[in-house]
C-alpha cells in the first residue's frame, strides 16, 4: 500500500503532499498525555504559503539564506515550509546555540532574516545585534511570549502574507516554479567534533534522491514519534520522508517519552543509540525487579530468542561475516542451524507469545522497526533488541551525505553492520596511507571484502560543498565525485558495511599500537555503574579512561556520596569501577592486551550536551581533553610513584 | 481398536489433575468481574460467538464422527470436544492474530459459564446413537442384559463445577495481586505444553504401538475438528457481517476448545477403563494438534489482517489523542471498499492489554 510522492524539489513535495493527503494529520503536538493537536497536510501547506508570501513581502529573495534557530516544534516545520515555498534556503540551528556560533553562522552565511524560537533566544540575538551587521529581520516563533522591539511575531508575517495572497499575489508560485534541482534547500552548520563550524550545502536533488532510496516502508496508517533534534539532517530527512509517505509525525520529548510511547503507539521511530541504551537499561531494570518466576521466564525466553534469531540470521545469510567461509563449511552449518531452528521453534513460539511480547509492549507495542543513526549502536544492545523481536535498522551517514549512505533493511538485517549501501550509491574502502582502492578491487580475494580502510562515497546524496570554504571542500570532495567520510570501515562478505570508528579518533600508543577508542567506550558504557566515559592514551604507554560514574546506582548500593565529586574520591567506588572495567574489557570480549584500560579517573561532573557532547551525544574529544587535562596528566604522570 | 493397557498411570492422572488445576487457575487469573460485565455490553459479538461455539462446533464434531464412522467411544469423545467451552489460549492467539482480545475474553468467559447448561443438553442430543452402539456391544460381549451405557449428565455437571472452582480462585488472586495473577496466567500455558508433551512422550515409550494402531480416521478427526472450527467460525461471523477484528477472534475461539475441561470430564465421568482410555487418547491428540493448527491459523490471520489492523489502530489512536469526534480521512483509493465506509470497523473495543 506504500506510495511515496516523487517530486522535483522540496516545495513541490510539500505541494503534492497537500494535494494527495489533504486532511490527513501531518504533525501532532502535545498539550497533555491524551490531548494532542493535529495539523493536516493541507493546513500546514496553506499556512506555509501565507508565511512564504509574507517573507517575500518583507524582502526575502530567492536562494537567500534564512536563519532558523529553534528546537523541534510545529512552527519549525511551518517556517521550513515557508522558506522552501519562497525559494530560499533554510539555515537551521538548535535553541542551545552559543553566542559564538550564532555570530559565526549569521555572519558567515550572510543571514538577513532569522527565525528565533523563544524569549530567551530573541533576547540573546538582540544582545548580539551590534555584531551582526547584515541582520535585518528577526521573527519570533513562539506565541507564548511578547515580541520585543525589533522582533516581529510569526503571526504578523503570516498576516501580511494572507493579505498579499488575497489580493492576487502569485509571487510564491513563481518562486516555486523557479527552483532548480541544484539549488540549496538547506545550509547546515556542523559543529562536528573538531574545529570551527562548517556550512554544509545540500541541494533539492540531494534531498529528493534520499526520498527515492530510503528502503523503509511507511504509509498513511503509520505513526512516527519524533525526538531527535530536527535541525540535524537525520531527523530532518526522516520527517520529510514522513511527509512524502503521508505519515503523521508526533512531537515528543525526553520527559514525556515513556507516556507518549504508550499512548501514541508509534509504528516507527528514528532514534540515536543513547535512546536504545536507556531503553535497554530500563527493560533490564524491570526484569530485575520482577517476580522470580517471571524473571526466570524472561531468561528462558531471551535464551530461546537468542538462538532462534541467530539461526534465522545464519540461514538467511544475515550473520556477521567478517571472514570468508568455504561453501562446505557453510553448508554443514546451515544444516545444523536448520535443525536447531526446528527444535527451538515451538518453544520459541510459545515464549515469544507469552513473555517477549510484553517486553516489546514496554517499548511501545506497535513498533515494527526503528532506525538508529547519528552514532554507532553498541553490538550488545543491537542484538538485544533483535533477539526480543524489535528489529533495529541501523543506518550510517553524515550531514555531508544528506545523510543516508547505508541502512539495514528488514531483509538484510546484519547485526553489527549498517547494512548495504542504498540504491544509486557507490562505496569504496580506501587504504589510509596509499589511498589505494581496497574494495571493490579485483586484485584482492573477494574483491577486497573484509579489508579495512577509509570509507569513500559517491552518489546523488553527496553535498555540493562547504559554503565559502573551497579549501576544506577540496580536501574531502575529490575528483570524480568521491567524498571521503573520514570513517574507517570494511565491507563484510555478505555486502554490508561495517563501521570501525573515526579515522581521526584513532589512538596511537607510544609503542606504536593503534586502537579505536569507540568500541572500548561502548563496551564500558554497558556497565550499570558507568554513565559516560572517554578512553585516552595518545602517545602514552597505556590506555586510560575518564569515567563519569552513575551516582544513583552507587547510592542504591549504599555507598555514601552526595555528589559526583564526593563519589570520585570514594575508594569503594573506585574499587567497584576497577573490577567493572576488568570484567567489561576482558579478553573474552575480544579486547586485545594493549587495549586494556590500565588506569582511570572518576570525573566530578557529567558530560553535557553542547559542551563535551554534540547534540547527538557524540563525544567532542578535544573539548574533554582540554577540560580534564589535569586528570589525564595525573593518570599518566602521577606525582607519587605507585608501589 | 481397543486400548487394553492402562493409558494413564496414577502418577499421570495426578499430573493431569494438577495441570487442570493450574490452567483453570491461570485462566481465572486472566479474568476480572469487568469481563463478565463487558459481555452484557457487547451482546452481539458474543451471541454470534455463542452460535458458532455451541451451534456449529458440535455439529462439525458429529458430522466428522458420522462421516468417518468412528468407533463409538472416539465419537463420543469427539462430540465432547466439540461441545467444550473456549480455551484460555484462544485469547493469546486472538491477540497475535490481530483479533479482538476483548471479544475473545468475553466469549471464553460466557462459554465457560454457559457450558454448565449447554454441554449436558448437547451431549444428550448428539451422542444417543453412539451410546446405543456401546450398549449393544456390551450386551453382545455377554454383559448383563440390563446393562446400559448412558452419558452421566450429573457427573459432567459436577466435574464442570469442580473445574470452575480454581477459576474463581484465580479471579480472587487477580483481584488482590495482579502481578502474581499474571505470573499464574503465563505459567499455565507453559505447564499445559509440558504436560501434554509428557503424556505424548510417555504414551510413545510405553505404548509405541498405540500410534500405529490408532486408525487414520481418529488422527484425521482430531486435526480437522479444530481446523473446521476455525473455518466455519470465520465464515459464520462473516455471514453475520461483523467486523474483521471480530471475525478473527470468533474463528479462533470456535476452533480452540478448553482441552483440560475434557480431561476432567473424561476422568471423572467415564470410569469404564476401555472407554476412558479411548476418549482420553483422542483428547490428548486434539490438545496436541490444536496448538500447531492454531499457530498456523494465527500466522495466516495475522498476515491477512495486517492492513485492517493498522487502519484500525490508527483510528483508535487518533480518537484517543485528537478527540472522539475526529474522523481520519484517507486519500481516495487508499482503503479497500471492504472497510472504506467504516475505517474504524464499527464499535471497536479497545484492546485489553
- At residue B215, φ and ψ (nearest 5 deg) are -65, 150
With cut-offs at 50, 70 and 90, classify the pLDDT of residue A534: very high
Average pLDDT over residues A403-430: 92
- CA–CA distance, A240 with A66 (Å, rounded to integer): 19
pLDDT digits (tens, 9 = 90+) for B301-316: 999 888 888 888 898 8
A263 touches chain B (CB under 8 A): yes
Query: Average pLDDT for residues A174-191, to the nearest whole number?
Result: 93
| pLDDT band (50, 70, 90) for residue A641 | very low
The DSSP output letter for A256 is G
Contacts of A219 in chain B (CB under 8 A): 310
State yes or no: pLDDT of B209 exceeds 80: no
pLDDT for B344: 44
Mean pLDDT for chain A?
Answer: 89
Q: Higher model confidence: residue A536 or residue B353?
A: A536
The pLDDT of residue A93: 92
Instruction: For residue A546, give the C-alpha cell.
Output: 575518564
What CA–CA distance (Å, rounded) separates A571 from B252?
61
The CATH code of the domain that includes A583 is 3.30.300.30
Q: A303 lies in a domain?
A: no
Name the nearest CA neighbour of A256 among A227, A229, A230, A283.
A227
* CB of A21 less than 8 A from some CB of B: yes
Does B333 lie at the interface with A, CB-CB under 8 angstroms?
no
Distance CA A267, CA A350 (A): 24
C-beta atoms surrounding A39 within 10 Å: 18
- Widest distance between CA atoms in chain A: 86
Of A384-398, A525-539, A592-606, B145-159, the range with the lowest mean pLDDT is B145-159
Q: Which of A21, A37, A264 sits opposite B331 (nearest CB)?
A: A21
**pLDDT surpasses 60 at B222:** yes
**CA of A624 vs chain B CAs: smallest distance (Å):** 43
Q: Check which CATH number belongs to the domain holding A93 and give it.
A: 3.40.50.12780
User: pLDDT at position B348, please?
Assistant: 37
Which helix H or strand E contains A548, and what residues bound it? strand A543-549
Taking the Cβ of residue B307 and every Cβ of chain A, the question of whether any pair is shorter than 8 Å is answered with yes
Residues 6 or more apart in contact with residue A197 via CB below 8 angstroms: A101, A104, A105, A108, A189, A190, A191
Which range of A87-101, A349-363, A495-509 scores highest in mean pLDDT? It is A87-101
Contact B80, B265 (CB under 8 A): yes
- pLDDT of B351 > 50? The answer is no
Sign for the CA dihedral angle at A236, A238, A244, A250 comes to negative
Write down the residue that cell numbers 466439540 correspond to.
B82
Q: Using alpha carbons, select from A135, A137, A74, A146 the residue that is nearest to residue A110.
A: A135
Whether residue B322 lies within 8 A of chain A, CB to CB, comes out as: yes
Residue A23: is its pLDDT beyond 70? yes
Listed ranges A291-295, B22-26, B80-84, B203-207; the one with the highest mean pLDDT? B80-84
Q: Is A526 part of any domain?
A: yes
Q: Is residue A576 part of a domain?
A: yes
In the numeric block, which cell numbers belong to residue B219? 488422527
Residue B314 contacts A where some CB pair is shorter than 8 Å: yes
User: Is 90 exceeded by the pLDDT of residue B276?
Assistant: no
User: For residue B145, what pLDDT is reported?
Assistant: 62
Q: DSSP 3-state assignment of A152?
A: strand
**Min distance B44 CA to chain A CA atoms (Å):** 28
Question: What is the spatial distance between Cα A608 and Cα A585, in angstroms, rounded to a whole number?
Answer: 25
Average pLDDT over residues A168-196: 87
Query: Model confidence at B274, in pLDDT bands (50, 70, 90)?
Result: confident
List of long-range contacts for B71-75, beta carbons under 8 Å, 24+ apart: B71/B1, B71/B278, B72/B130, B72/B131, B72/B133, B72/B134, B72/B137, B73/B134, B73/B274, B73/B275, B73/B278, B73/B279, B74/B218, B74/B221, B74/B278, B74/B279, B74/B282, B75/B127, B75/B130
**Chain A residues inside the 8 Å CB shell of B293:** none
**Which residues in chain B (45-104) have CB-CB distances under 8 A to chain A?**
92, 95-96
Q: How far is B314 from chain A (nearest CA, A)?
A: 6
Q: Using pLDDT thresholds of 50, 70 and 90, give the confidence band for residue A37.
A: very high
- Chain A touched by B319 (CB under 8 Å): no
Residue A293: is its pLDDT beyond 60?
yes
Cβ-contact A553, A578 below 8 angstroms: no
Q: Which pLDDT value is given to residue A424? A: 93
**Which of A150-159, A424-433, A580-589, B196-205 has the largest mean confidence?**
A150-159
Residues of B in Cβ contact (< 8 Å) with A299: none
Pairwise CB contact (< 8 Å): A36 & B321: yes
Residue A307 in this model has a pLDDT that exceeds 80: yes
| Least Cα separation, residue A354 to chain B (angstroms) | 6
Q: Which residue range(s) make up the domain with A519? A: 507-636
- Give dist(CA B214, CA B2) in Å, integer: 9
User: Is the pLDDT at A512 greater than 80, yes or no?
Assistant: no
- Disruptive mutation site among B23, B186, B194, B316 for chain A (greatest number of A CBs within 10 Å): B186
Q: Which of A526, A501, A632, A542 is nearest to A585 (CA)?
A: A526
pLDDT at position A191, please?
65
If you average pLDDT over residues A555-582, what whole number do you get? 86
Q: How many Cβ pairs within 8 Å bridge chains A and B?
A: 79
pLDDT (mean) for A345-365? 81
For the cut 70, the answer to whether the pLDDT of residue B3 exceeds it is no
Nearest to B313 among A36, A265, A293 (CB): A265
Instruction: Say whether the ipTM exceeds 0.95.
Output: no
- Candidates A18, A27, A40, A220: best to mutate against B (most CBs of B within 10 A) is A220
Range of lowest pLDDT (A225-239, B76-90, B187-201): B187-201
Q: Do B190 and A291 touch (CB under 8 A)?
A: no
CATH number of B10-303: 1.20.1530.20
**Residue B82 to residue B56: CA distance in whole angstroms:** 9
How many domains is chain A built from? 2
- Is residue A187 scored above 90 in pLDDT? yes
Residue B350 pLDDT grade (very low, low, confident, very high; cuts 50, 70, 90): very low
Cβ contacts (< 8 Å) between B353 and chain A: which residues?
358, 361
Asked if the model's pLDDT at residue B195 lies above 60, the reply is: yes
More confident residue, A615 or A307: A307
Q: What percent of chain A has pLDDT over 70?
A: 96
Choose from B185, B192, B308, B317 for mutation: most chain A CBs within 10 A.
B317
Find the Cα–Cα–Cα–Cα dihedral B115, B121, B126, B131, rounded to 10°. Answer: 110
Residue range B225-245: average pLDDT?
90
Q: How far apart, in whole angstroms, are the C-alpha atoms of residue B19 and residue A293?
A: 17
| Cα distance between residue B253 and residue B234, in whole Å | 10
Instruction: Give the pLDDT of residue B259.
Output: 84
Q: What is the mean pLDDT of residues B282-300?
A: 89
Instruction: Compare all CA atoms of chain B with the CA of A358 and give the residue at the minimum distance.
Output: B353
Which of B306, B313, B314, B319 should be substituted to probe chain A, the one whose Cβ sees the most A Cβ atoms within 10 Å?
Answer: B314
B313/A37 CB distance under 8 A: no
> In 10 A of CB A151, how many CB atoms?
21
Closest to B317 (Cβ–Cβ): which among A22, A220, A223? A223
Who wins on pLDDT, B149 or A317?
A: A317
CB A77 within 8 A of CB A27: yes
Q: Does B313 touch chain A (CB under 8 A)?
A: yes
* Closest Cα in chain B, distance from residue A214 (Å): 21
Task: Inform me whether the C-beta atom of residue A25 falls under 8 Å from chain B C-beta atoms.
Answer: yes
End of a domain among A252, A271, A290?
A271
The shortest C-alpha distance from A247 to chain B (Å) reads 11
| Residue B18, C-alpha cell as written in the block | 494438577
User: Under an 8 A CB cutoff, do A263 and B314 touch?
Assistant: no
pLDDT digits (tens, 9 = 90+) for A198-211: 899 999 999 999 99
Answer yes or no: are the C-beta atoms of B274 and B3 closer than 8 Å. Answer: yes
Q: How many CA atoms lie within 13 A of A367 on its CB side?
A: 29
Rg (CA), chain B: 21
- Segment B211-221 shows an average pLDDT of 88
pLDDT at B17 over 70: yes
Q: Is the pLDDT of residue B115 over 60?
A: yes
Residue A38 belongs to what H/E stretch? strand A35-40
pLDDT tens readout for residues B153-179: 888 888 888 888 888 898 898 888 888
Domain limits, chain B: 10-303, 305-353
Give tens-digit pLDDT for A161-175: 999 999 999 999 999
A50-54, B71-75, B204-208: range with lowest mean pLDDT: B204-208
Question: What is the average pLDDT value for chain B, to the nearest integer?
Answer: 83
**Last residue in a domain, options A253, A271, A289:** A271
CA–centroid distance for A179 within its chain: 29
Interface contact flag, B318 A23, Cβ < 8 Å? no
> C-alpha distances in angstroms, A452 versus A487, A590, B92?
11, 17, 48
Rounded Cα distance, B218 and A558, in Å: 65
Q: Is residue A190 part of a domain?
A: no
Residue A583 near chain B (CB below 8 Å): no
Amino acid at each position: 500500500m506504500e506510495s511515496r510522492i516523487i517530486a522535483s524539489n522540496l516545495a513541490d513535495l510539500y505541494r503534492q503532499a497537500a494535494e494527495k493527503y489533504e486532511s490527513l494529520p501531518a504533525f501532532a503536538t502535545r498539550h497533555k498525555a491524551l490531548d494532542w493537536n493535529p495539523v493536516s497536510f493541507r493546513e500546514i501547506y496553506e499556512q506555509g504559503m501565507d508565511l512564504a508570501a509574507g517573507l517575500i513581502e518583507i524582502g526575502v529573495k530567492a536562494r537567500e539564506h534564512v536563519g532558523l534557530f529553534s528546537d523541534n516544534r510545529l512552527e519549525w516545520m511551518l517556517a521550513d515550509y515557508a522558506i522552501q515555498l519562497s525559494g530560499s534556503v533554510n539555515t537551521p540551528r538548535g535553541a542551545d546555540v552559543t553566542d559564538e556560533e550564532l555570530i559565526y553562522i549569521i555572519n558567515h552565511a550572510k543571514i538577513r532574516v532569522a527565525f528565533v524560537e523563544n524569549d530567551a533566544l530573541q533576547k540573546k540575538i538582540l544582545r548580539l545585534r551590534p555584531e551582526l551587521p547584515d541582520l535585518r529581520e528577526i521573527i519570533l516563533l513562539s506565541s507564548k511570549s511578547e515580541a520585543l522591539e525589533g522582533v516581529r511575531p510569526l503571526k504578523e508575517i503570516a498576516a501580511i502574507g494572507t493579505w498579499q495572497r488575497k489580493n492576487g499575489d502569485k509571487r510564491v508560485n513563481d518562486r516555486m516554479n523557479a527552483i532548480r534541482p541544484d539549488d540549496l534547500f538547506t545550509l547546515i552548520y556542523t559543529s562536528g567534533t573538531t574545529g570551527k563550524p562548517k556550512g554544509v550545502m545540500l541541494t533539492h536533488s540531494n534531498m529528493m534522491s534520499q526520498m527515492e532510496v530510503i528502503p523503509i516502508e511507511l504509509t498513511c496508517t503509520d505513526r512516527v514519534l519524533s525526538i531527535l533534534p530536527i535541525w540535524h539532517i537525520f531527523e530532518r530527512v526522516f520527517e520529510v520522508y514522513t511527509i512524502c509517505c503521508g505519515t503523521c509525525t508526533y512531537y515528543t520529548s525526553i520527559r514525556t517519552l515513556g507516556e507518549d510511547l504508550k499512548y501514541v503507539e508509534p509504528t516507527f521511530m528514528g532514534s540515536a543509540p543513547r535512546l536504545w541504551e536507556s531503553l535497554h537499561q530500563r527493560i533490564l531494570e524491570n526484569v530485575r525487579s520482577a517476580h522470580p518466576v517471571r524473571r526466570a521466564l524472561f531468561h528462558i525466553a531471551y535464551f530461546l530468542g537468542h538462538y532462534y534469531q541467530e539461526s534465522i540470521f545464519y540461514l538467511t545469510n544475515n550473520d556477521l561475516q567478517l571472514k570468508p567461509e568455504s561453501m562446505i563449511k557453510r553448508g554443514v552449518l546451515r544444516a545444523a542451524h536448520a535443525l536447531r531452528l526446528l527444535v527451538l521453534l515451538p518453544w520459541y513460539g510459545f515464549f515469544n507469545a507469552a513473555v517477549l511480547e510484553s517486553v516489546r509492549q514496554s517499548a511501545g507495542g506497535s513498533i515494527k522497526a526503528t532506525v538508529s543513526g547519528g552514532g554507532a549502536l553498541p553490538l550488545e544492545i543491537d542484538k538485544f533488541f533483535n533477539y526480543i523481536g524489535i528489529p533495529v535498522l541501523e543506518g550510517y551517514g553524515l550531514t555531508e551525505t544528506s545523510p543516508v549512505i547505508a541502512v539495514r533493511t528488514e531483509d538484510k538485517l546484519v547485526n553489527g553492520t549498517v547494512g548495504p549501501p542504498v540504491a544509486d550509491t557507490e562505496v569504496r574502502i580506501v587504504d589510509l596511507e596509499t589511498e589505494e582502492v581496497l574494495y571493490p578491487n579485483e586484485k584482492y580475494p573477494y574483491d577486497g571484502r573484509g579489508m579495512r580502510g577509509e570509507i569513500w562515497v559517491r552518489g546523488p546524496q553527496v553535498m555540493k560543498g562547504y559554503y565559502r570554504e573551497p579549501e576544506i571542500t577540496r580536501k574531502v570532495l575529490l575528483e570524480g565525485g568521491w567524498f571521503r567520510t573520514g570513517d574507517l570501515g570494511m565491507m563484510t562478505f555478505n555486502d554490508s558495511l561495517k563501521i570501525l570508528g573515526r579515522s581521526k579518533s584513532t589512538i596511537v600508543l607510544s609503542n606504536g599500537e593503534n586502537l579505536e577508542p569507540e568500541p572500548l567506550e561502548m563496551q564500558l558504557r554497558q556497565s550499570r555503574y558507568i554513565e559516560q566515559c572517554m578512553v585516552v592514551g595518545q602517545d602514552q604507554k597505556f590506555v586510560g579512561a575518564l569515567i563519569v560514574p552513575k551516582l544513583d546506582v552507587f547510592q542504591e548500593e549504599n555507598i555514601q556520596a552526595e555528589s559526583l565529586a564526593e563519589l570520585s574520591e570514594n575508594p569503594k567506588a573506585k574499587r567497584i569501577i576497577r573490577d567493572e572495567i576488568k570484567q567489561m574489557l576482558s579478553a573474552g570480549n575480544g579486547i586485545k592486551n594493549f587495549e586494556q584500560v590500565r588506569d582511570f579517573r572518576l570525573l566530578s561532573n557529567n558530560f553535557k550536551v553542547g559542551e563535551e557532547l554534540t547534540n547527538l551525544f557524540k563525544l567532542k574529544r578535544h573539548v574533554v581533553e582540554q577540560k580534564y587535562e589535569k586528570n589525564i596528566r595525573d593518570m599518566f604522570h602521577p606525582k607519587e610513584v605507585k608501589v | 481398536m481397543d486400548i487394553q493397557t492402562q493409558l494413564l498411570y496414577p502418577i499421570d492422572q495426578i499430573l493431569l489433575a494438577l495441570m487442570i488445576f493450574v490452567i483453570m487457575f491461570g485462566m481465572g487469573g486472566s479474568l476480572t468481574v469487568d469481563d463478565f460485565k463487558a459481555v452484557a455490553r457487547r451482546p452481539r459479538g458474543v451471541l454470534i460467538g455463542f452460535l458458532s461455539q455451541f451451534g456449529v462446533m458440535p455439529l462439525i464434531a458429529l458430522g466428522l464422527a458420522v462421516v468417518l464412522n468412528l468407533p463409538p467411544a472416539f465419537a463420543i469423545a469427539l462430540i465432547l470436544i466439540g461441545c467444550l467451552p473456549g480455551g484460555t489460549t484462544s485469547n493469546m492467539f486472538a491477540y497475535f492474530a490481530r483479533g479482538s482480545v476483548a471479544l475473545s475474553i468475553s466469549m471464553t468467559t460466557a462459554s465457560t459459564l454457559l457450558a454448565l447448561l449447554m454441554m449436558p443438553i448437547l451431549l444428550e442430543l448428539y451422542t444417543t446413537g453412539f451410546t446405543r452402539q456401546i450398549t449393544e456391544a456390551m450386551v453382545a460381549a455377554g454383559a448383563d442384559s440390563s446393562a446400559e451405557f448412558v452419558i452421566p449428565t450429573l457427573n459432567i455437571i459436577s466435574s464442570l463445577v469442580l473445574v470452575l472452582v480454581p477459576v474463581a480462585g484465580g479471579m480472587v488472586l487477580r483481584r488482590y495481586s495482579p502481578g502474581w495473577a499474571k505470573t499464574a496466567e503465563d505459567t499455565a500455558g507453559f505447564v499445559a505444553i509440558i504436560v501434554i508433551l509428557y503424556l505424548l512422550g510417555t504414551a510413545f515409550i510405553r505404548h509405541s504401538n498405540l500410534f500405529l494402531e490408532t486408525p487414520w480416521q481418529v488422527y484425521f478427526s482430531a486435526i480437522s475438528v479444530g481446523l473446521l472450527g476455525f473455518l466455519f467460525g470465520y465464515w459464520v461471523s462473516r455471514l453475520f457481517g461483523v467486523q474483521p477484528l471480530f471475525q478473527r477472534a470468533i474463528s479462533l475461539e470456535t476452533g480452540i476448545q478448553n482441552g483440560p475441561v475434557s480431561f476432567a470430564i473424561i476422568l471423572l465421568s467415564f470410569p469404564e477403563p476401555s472407554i476412558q482410555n479411548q476418549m482420553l487418547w483422542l483428547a490428548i491428540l486434539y490438545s496436541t494438534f490444536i496448538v500447531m493448527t492454531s499457530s498456523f491459523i494465527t500466522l495466516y490471520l495475522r498476515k491477512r489482517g495486517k492492513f485492517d489492523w493498522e487502519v484500525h489502530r490508527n483510528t483508535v489512536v487518533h480518537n484517543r489523542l485528537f478527540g472522539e469526534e475526529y474522523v481520519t480521512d484517507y486519500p481516495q483509493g487508499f482503503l479497500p471498499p471492504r472497510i472504506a465506509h467504516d475505517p474504524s470497523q464499527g464499535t471497536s473495543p479497545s484492546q485489553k492489554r
